[in-house]
Structures are given as C-alpha cells and as structure tokens.
Amino acid sequence: MKTFRGFLVFSSIAVLAASIFLPSGAAAQDTTTNSSGKSEQWIHVRVESKEDHGETVRVNVPVEMAAKVLPAINKSNLHDGKVHIDSMHTNDVDLRAILDAVRSSRDGEYVTVQGNDNDVRVAKSAGYLYIHVTDKSDGKKTVAKDGKTGAKAGAGHESKVEIKVPMKVVDALFSAGKDELDIVAALKALSAHGDTELVTVKDDQNTVRIWVDSKNVAD
Amino acid sequence: MLILAKAALGLGATMAMAGVYVFHEGVIRVDVDEHRTGGSHVHFWVPATIVATGMHFVPKDQLNHTTQEMRPFLPALREVAKELEKYPNVELVDVTDARDHVRVAMVEGKLRIDAVSGDGDVVHVSVPARVLRDVADELEIDNR
C-alpha cells in the first residue's frame, strides 16, 4: 500500500513538473497554429536553371517576418527598413518625378521603346505598374557567333524581364521622402494586396519568378 | 527501509523535474559525416537549456569579442528567431544542383539545416528557434 502511495506521489510530482515546464512549448505550438491559420502572405523566389541537372533555388519568406526583421538591420544604406539612395537622379533622369507623373496619370502605355538591342514597355493598368524589358542582345551575339544562323534561332536567346507591381506598393515604396525607399511600407502594402506575380525573368539559361501568395510552400 | 524509500522517491522526483526542465526547450542536434578517408563523424545532442544557461559561464572577454563582431546583426537575429517561432513547419530555402542539396526549414519548431554534398558529406543541424532568441538576448545583454 505504501509502495502504491509512493508511486502515486512520484507520479503526481512528475505530472506537476511536466505541467509547469511543458506548457510553454505547447502554448507556442497553439500560437503558431493560429498565426499560420490566418491567410498571411508569403514571398516566394524560384530560380530554375534550364541546363541538365541545373540548379534550383526556392526561397519562401513570410512577408510579415521580412517586414519585422528589416527594421532591425542597420547597415550600409539600409536603416529602419528604408534604403537610402544617394541620388534618385540616374543619368539625369528623375525617377521620383517620373513615378509621380505615372501615379497621378490615367491608365495607359507610357513608354514603348523598340530598339535593336532592347524592347521596353512601361504601362499602368488596373492599379498595376507594368515594366517589360526584352533584351535581344544575347540573341544577336549568338547569331553573330553562329554566323549564318537564322533570325529565328536568335529569338530563342532573348531575355525577358516582366515586372508587375501594384501601384499601392509603388506609393508605399516612395512614401519615405526624398532619396529613400521605404521597403517595410512596401512590404506591408504588398501583404495587404493579396496574391500577385511580381517578377518573371526568362532567358535561355534560367527562369526566375518572384511572387506573393498565401501558401507557405512554392508551387 | 522506509527512510531509504522516501529518499529514493525524493531523488527520483527531483531527477524527473530536473529532466523535464533541462529538456523543456528541446534538443540541439548536430550530425556531421564526411565520407572520405580520415573524414570526421560528429554526432551529438545537447539539451537546448544548457546553451542559454552555459552562456552565463563563458568568459566575458571571449563573449565580448564575439558580440562586438555580431553586434549589427543581433537585433535582426532576435527578430528572425522570434518570428520563426510562429512558423513551426515551413520550408524557407532549398537549393539543389546536380551535386549538392541545401535545405533550411522549420521542422516542429526547430530550425533545421540539411546539407548533402555530391561527395557524400552530410551535415544536419537542428536548433529550436527559442534557443536562437535566447542566445541573441544573452549576447545583447552582454553587449550593453
């Protein structure tokens, strides 16, 4: 009987100890389940090489996490989640003025350049800013190297960059003030915006995709 | 006999409580296997609590040197660790090529880093996210 009582006391102490120390872990699990249950946004980056056994890179980062971690990094041009750019005037082009103009303008195609080396298209439509760049120079080099290779072969070596950014994100990005980009504000705007494809780069060697959705794994 | 039994009971209960306390933050696991001649094979498990507690006993001058170097990144490390605790099971980074595979993921609340090289070398590290935060906190306190 005494042995049983001793066992009972021992068990009670062990259970008490477990209940004191284990709940922190259990509570953490519950919290994470709850927080991951809500539809929060994730930034996905996928780089795929087209070569045989080529490299594949997949990165998945919660937008909320990035928005909280960035302000904690204060190094070089990055401070408080803002990137300081020494001069927004690149080659005498005032980027801020251009973006202000685009922001306040109606939907439409603003820039269309069709050159021998590049095609560039900048447009605004349905609350999105589109930037499409096709670099044909790689194709030309290949054609030149191949000598009499036809133009169709060259077209296969184009690099295409397609960027699609919600205007609200652009607004947030430039909300910090002169010569600064507010990355955290942009991330928050991105998170509030919902699923969207941000960047697609395609060339003959690699495919790069950056997109935002509510899944915590890449497709 | 009865006193002996009570003493054994007390000792057992204390050990049980100590065991629960020591392991309540989980276990840090490191596995390294180098599949070449003379390659090292390291396998160890350490209760996570020991790391945070053990930092109190590291010589201050040694710790100061480390914290000075890490200083700009400590707030970021703490934020990352704090945020990671919210995502117990997610894949963060996966890099694969013809030879190597590196994966960084959260698995059951632990930050898990797996690296497998084409030579057969294997590294697995598993650290509870809570420990990362504790370490960052400790280093920041020492840095003040």
Which residues 25-44 of A are in CB contact (within 8 Å) with B?
Answer: 25, 28-29, 31-33, 35-36
Percent of chain B's residues with pLDDT above 90:
28
Q: How far apart are CA A19 and CA B57, in angstroms?
A: 29
* pLDDT surpassing 70 at residue A4: no
**Residue A91 exposed, middle or buried by CB count within 10 Å (0-12, 13-18, 19+):** exposed
* pLDDT surpassing 60 at residue A142: no
Q: Quote the Cα angle for B129-B135-B138, to 5°.
A: 145
Cβ <8 Å between B80 and A32: no
A138-152, A197-211, B53-67, B88-102: the lowest-pLDDT one = A138-152
Instruction: List, for residues B71-89, the tens digit of each pLDDT value.
Output: 878 888 889 999 999 888 9
* pLDDT surpassing 60 at residue A16: no
Cβ <8 Å between A9 and B79: no
Instruction: List, for residues B1-12, the tens digit of each pLDDT value.
Output: 778 888 888 888
> CA of A88 to nearest chain B CA: how many angstroms apart?
27
Q: How far apart are CA B32 and CA A218, in angstroms?
A: 29
Instruction: List, for residues B106-138, the tens digit of each pLDDT value.
Output: 998 899 999 999 888 999 999 998 888 888 888
Dihedral angle sign, alpha carbons of residues A135, A138, A144, A146 = negative
Which residues 43-62 of A are in CB contact (within 8 Å) with B?
Answer: 49, 52-62
Give the pLDDT of residue A14.
54
Q: Which positions in chain B touch A52 (Cβ < 8 Å)?
A: 98
Instruction: List, for residues A162-211, the tens digit of each pLDDT value.
Output: 999 999 998 898 888 778 889 999 999 988 888 999 999 999 889 999 99
Question: HEC profile for chain A?
Answer: CHHHHHHHHHHHHHHHHHHHHCHHHHHHHHHHHHHHHCCCCEEEEEEEECCCCCCEEEEEEEHHHHHHHHHHCCECCEECCEEECCCCEECCEEHHHHHHHHHHCCCEEEEEEECCCEEEEEEEECCEEEEEEEECHHHHHHHHHHCCCCHHHHHCCCEEEEEEEEHHHHHHHCCCCCCEEEHHHHHHHHHHHCCEEEEEEECCCEEEEEEEECCCCCC
3-state secondary structure of B11: helix
Give the pLDDT of residue A197.
92
Question: Which of A91, A110, A85 has its CA nearest to residue A100?
Answer: A110
**Nearest beta carbon to residue B92 from set A13, A35, A61:** A61
Q: Which positions in chain B touch A56 (Cβ < 8 Å)?
A: 94-97
Q: Which residues contact A45 (CB under 8 A, 6 or more apart)?
A: A57, A58, A59, A208, A209, A210
Q: How far apart are CA A191 and CA B48, in angstroms?
A: 34
**Nearest beta carbon to residue A69 from set B9, B76, B91:** B76
* pLDDT surpassing 50 at residue A32: no
Domain residue ranges of chain A, discontinuous segments joined by +: 1-38, 41-213
Cβ <8 Å between A18 and B20: yes
pLDDT band with cut points at 50, 70 and 90 for residue A20: very low
* Backbone phi and psi for residue B13, each to the nearest 5 degrees, phi listed first: -65, -45
**CB of B2 within 8 Å of any CB in chain A?**
yes
